[in-house]
Chain A
Amino acid sequence: MENRVVRAKDLMNVSQDPQNNVVLSMRGISKTFPGTKALNNVNFTLRKGEIHALMGENGAGKSTLIKVLTGVYPKDSGQIFVDGIEGEASIHSPQEAQNLGISTVYQEINLCPNLTVAENMFIGRSKGARVQWKSNEKRANEILSNLGIPAQADQELSHCSLAVQQMVAIARAVDMQCKVLILDEPTSSLDDKEVQMLFGLMRDLRDRGVGIIFVTHFLEQVYEVSDRITVLRNGELVGEYLISDLPQVELVARMMGKDLNDLADLEEIGQKKTASEAVVYEAENLSSSDSRPFNFMIREGEINGFTGLLGSGRSESVRAIFGADRVTGGTVKVKGKAVSITKPHEAMKAGIGYLPEDRKRDGIISDLSVRENIILALQVMKGFFHPMSRKETEQFADEYIKALKIKTASQETPVGSLSGGNQQKVILARWLLTHPDYLILDEPTRGIDVGTKLEIQKLVLKLAAEENMSITFISSEIEEMLRTCSRLIVMRDRNIVGELTGDELNQSSVMKTIAGGGQ
């Protein structure tokens, strides 16, 4: 009884006395993979009722730390203590982590699409052998309506949108009365409104005393909801900070371990952007199975961007340009000549390159080597009957591994074993090798670390300035687009609703155009 009173008091005094409220403590965690030391003697502390951002570049060890905590990977050394458990906690499987009150919502939605919403919320949790369909569905409906999630308990999950699926995953974790809730990039597939809904939920849970570990690449979001930040770099702990003690610029500096002169560099190159008058690509009433008819053109050496909310049709539009979806109509001119582009192959022949939005699904050929991945597009353009010699491909691969600073053990390493940012560079190398006149980059910086992000932005500016390449750049971060693009095409509801250039290129006017005049 006394114990409970003390706990309640602790709960109220979270901010005053954080030391005694530790819900999770990881001490001296190390983990080695073949070739890399993913974690080296890392400490991490999570307190009751806080939102704790775990930050770091790709390869810093965030995911590994989380996977060690949830029992996906066994740790090499170190200890984990969980509130309410005497001594060291032994976690060897996600099931054990779950039993200890540690729940995870992963970036890739880890639910089963062929089961119902209710099942996805309750499977793997019940003690009895019999599935309690009725009570599960009733309870699920309660939780769903409580959290304002637009789904029905008896609906098959595959019939829900991605955003709703994500929220179902969170609802599951919420219902598990978890002490520790891990959100691994939960916002990457949500639009702004849904993000706000999620943040509301996170704050609500925090107030109930749940410790939340929040992993994300969106810096603004960190500052919006977090109380505390732990920064990792190269598998080592940099430090733990209160959010008020660490300005955004400092955070980036800690994550990258270097000063932010790069940002200044970027601005400098950014000033040089000028486009000639020659039109490289022009489409009239172009439409595909997934996009509505639209007009579009890009000049030589120009960088433009498609922006809009998730689902606004920005990706679908560039896919139509590249012929990635079934093209249903419209006329296309490349350098003034009318051409037909209905397949990726034809687009490539016309001098267009396309870096897809979903790197894993549409980009890398994971089991093939870095070399083969780099030369793939060029090889296809040369044709089925004209294979390049081994030596030639090795030279090309070597050249681009050096030029883009791709971190790989060798040319023959399977690309799937590289980090996300390096995989992205490999795909970029693949298209640069074809020397396209017009390069489409759909979310080239998504899910990769800040350092590589800057590198890619710089590269984009350089390509346009020095090689006169026309580039379409799409990113979820408006700031990034404002920095690189000289013209922004704004989309809403799968229609182009505005085009911004020159002085209009600022955050507020972009927001206004996205939101539309009526609101």
Chain B
Amino acid sequence: MRQKTSIRRKQDLSQLIIPLAALGILVLFNLIRGIVIGDLGFFSITTRVNNDGNTVLAGNLISIIDDASALAIIAMGMTLVTAACGGQDISVGAVGAISGAVFVKVLDAFGLDKISVGSILIGLFAAIAVTIVFTLFNGTLVSVFKIQPMIATLILFSCGRSIAYMITGSATPQLNDKLINAIGKTIPGIPIPTPIFLVVLMALILALIFKVTNLRLYTQTVGINQGAARLNGINPMVIKLLSFVILGVCVSLASMIQVCRLNQLSHKTLLDAIEMDAILAVAIGGNSLGGGKFRLSGTILGAYIILMLTNTLNDMSVKPESIKAYKAIVIIIIVIAGSPAVKQKITAFWKRIHSGSRKVMAGR
């Protein structure tokens, strides 16, 4: 029995080796760099008093986790779509802009100067509803018309932001309100930024869904072998559509967070290029982009790794526009380390060491 569980654990964790290693290396790098330059400020967590007079936690680590919130939430949805459909939705940024536009439009209808919990909730639900319509459009193309996800979502990728523009026009409305800050920044009396809680909330909701339903088993089955899934009574179309619905909820939530963080809406820059980072987070998390088995914790780790990297580079005063180049190099290193060819070599190498040490032990 003990052996069985150890096998299980080994398999479960093998997918997390690469993201954990990447995270470890980043932490180590910053640690060494901190020691060398004699400033470990990267790791310090302090408190400060913000504009609203609240005491909040501050420091690099907090802002990394805080900044990664929208990405982490979208990446969770992307993981499910990837697993079920074997492809990625590249329209999440554009659809996020639409969602943000709807959210702000609803708030505007109630009056931007008298935002209430009620109007925010109505705005969020309206945004979720509209977003799901758009993600279901993608989902229908993918599941009913059997078009590759990247191609199907290319449509909204190319015109989604124009649709967002149609909703709100060229204005970039400002949202300066305590409630908006409570969502985008911190709730008075709680020192931890709210978006972090929202990530935890979303992760818990998904974990609960996996607990009380067969979504994980069905999604993986559909992703691996759709025909066989159907012959075992699973409706692949429904599962794929479901993954797009969940992605829609994720995108709406992320979009709201981002609007509240920035206190404004800009259809051009809201969640710009987040699709690439989200896909990257899925891949860094050790999930196959070809669908099938997946692990949400890997994806969330992936999102934090991406932001930690960005933050580290910022800290080293790299130009913001040039960060992409370094990011690319890190991606390349990570994917090389995780590539089948290299993996094979490493396992062979391990085995040799392992058998070697075993021989030595036997010799003793």
Contact = CB atoms under 8 A, between A and B. Distances in A.
Given A345-B235, A379-B217, A368 B11 contact: no
B229 interface: yes
A275 interface: no
Interface in A341-395: 343-345, 348, 354, 356, 361-368, 372, 376-377, 379-381, 383-387
Contacts of A345: 233-235
B172 to A, nearest CB: 43
Interface stretch (B176-184, B220-228, B262-270, B296-304): B220-228
Interface in A58-105: none
Interface residues of B, number: 26
A361 B217 contact: no
B210 to A, nearest CB: 9
B109 interface: no
Contacts of A362: 225, 227-228, 231
A324 interface: yes
B293 interface: yes
A120 to B, nearest CB: 26
B225 A385 contact: no
A411 interface: yes
A381 B213 CA distance: 13
Given A387-B214, A410-B4, A367 B224 contact: yes
Nearest to B218: A384
A383 to B, nearest CB: 8
Contacts, number: 80
B230 A344 contact: yes
A368 B231 contact: no
Contacts of A493: none
B4 A344 contact: no
A361 B213 CA distance: 26
Interface residues of B, dominant DSSP: helix
A365 B233 contact: no
Interface in A292-339: 322, 324
Contacts of A387: 211-214, 217
Contacts of B215: 384
B8 interface: yes
Nearest to B234: A380
Given A367-B292, A410-B4, A410-B7, A354 B231 contact: yes
Given A361-B227, A366-B224, A366-B225, A380 B232 contact: yes
A142 interface: no
A377 B230 CA distance: 11
A372 B234 CA distance: 14
A262 interface: no
Given A345-B233, A345-B235, A384 B228 contact: no
Interface string B229-253: 1111111000000000000000000
A348 B234 CA distance: 11
A377 B8 CA distance: 22
B292 A384 contact: no
A412 interface: yes
B292 A376 contact: no
A366 B7 CA distance: 19
Contacts of B213: 384-385, 387
A277 B217 CA distance: 40
Contact of B293 (A354, A363, A367, A377): A367
B233 A381 contact: yes
A227 B274 CA distance: 66
A379 B234 CA distance: 10
A368 B219 CA distance: 11
A324 B229 contact: no
Nearest to B220: A368
Most chain B CB within 10 A, of A324, A354, A367, is at A367
Given A324-B231, A345-B233, A365-B224, A376 B4 contact: no
A379 B217 CA distance: 9
A349 B11 CA distance: 34
B228 A361 contact: yes
Interface string A253-273: 000000000000000000000
Interface in B1-59: 4, 7-8, 11
A286 to B, nearest CB: 18
Contact of A384 (B214, B224, B232): B214
Contacts of A363: 228, 231
Nearest to A386: B214
Contacts of A379: 214, 217
Nearest to B228: A362
Given A365-B228, A368-B220, A412-B8, A377 B214 contact: no
A376 B221 contact: yes
Contacts of A344: 230-233
B225 A364 contact: yes
Contacts of B218: 384
Interface in A381-431: 381, 383-387, 410-412, 430
Nearest to B229: A365
A377 B228 contact: no
B233 A368 contact: no
A430 B234 CA distance: 14
A432 B233 CA distance: 15
A412 B233 contact: no
Most chain B CB within 10 A, of A356, A362, A384, A386, is at A384
B4 A365 contact: no
Contact of A411 (B4, B221, B231, B234): B4
Contacts of B234: 345, 380
Contacts of A367: 220, 224, 292-293
B135 to A, nearest CB: 20
A379 B227 CA distance: 17
A432 to B, nearest CB: 14
Nearest to B222: A365
A438 B93 CA distance: 50
Nearest to A380: B233
Contacts of A356: 228, 231
Interface string B116-153: 00000000000000000000000000000000000000
Nearest to A430: B232
Most chain A CB within 10 A, of B11, B218, B231, B234, is at B231
A377 B217 contact: no
A365 B221 contact: yes
A379 B121 CA distance: 37
A400 to B, nearest CB: 16
Most chain B CB within 10 A, of A344, A348, A377, A430, is at A344
Interface of A: 322, 324, 343-345, 348, 354, 356, 361-368, 372, 376-377, 379-381, 383-387, 410-412, 430
Counting from the closest, the 5 A-B pairs by CB-CB distance are: A345-B233, A380-B233, A348-B233, A365-B224, A367-B224
20 contacts: A324-B231, A343-B233, A361-B225, A362-B225, A362-B228, A365-B220, A365-B221, A365-B224, A368-B220, A372-B220, A377-B233, A379-B217, A380-B233, A381-B233, A384-B218, A385-B212, A386-B214, A387-B212, A411-B4, A430-B232
Given A324-B231, A362-B231, 13 more contacts: A324-B230, A354-B231, A362-B228, A365-B229, A367-B224, A379-B214, A380-B214, A385-B212, A387-B217, A410-B4, A411-B4, A412-B4, A430-B232
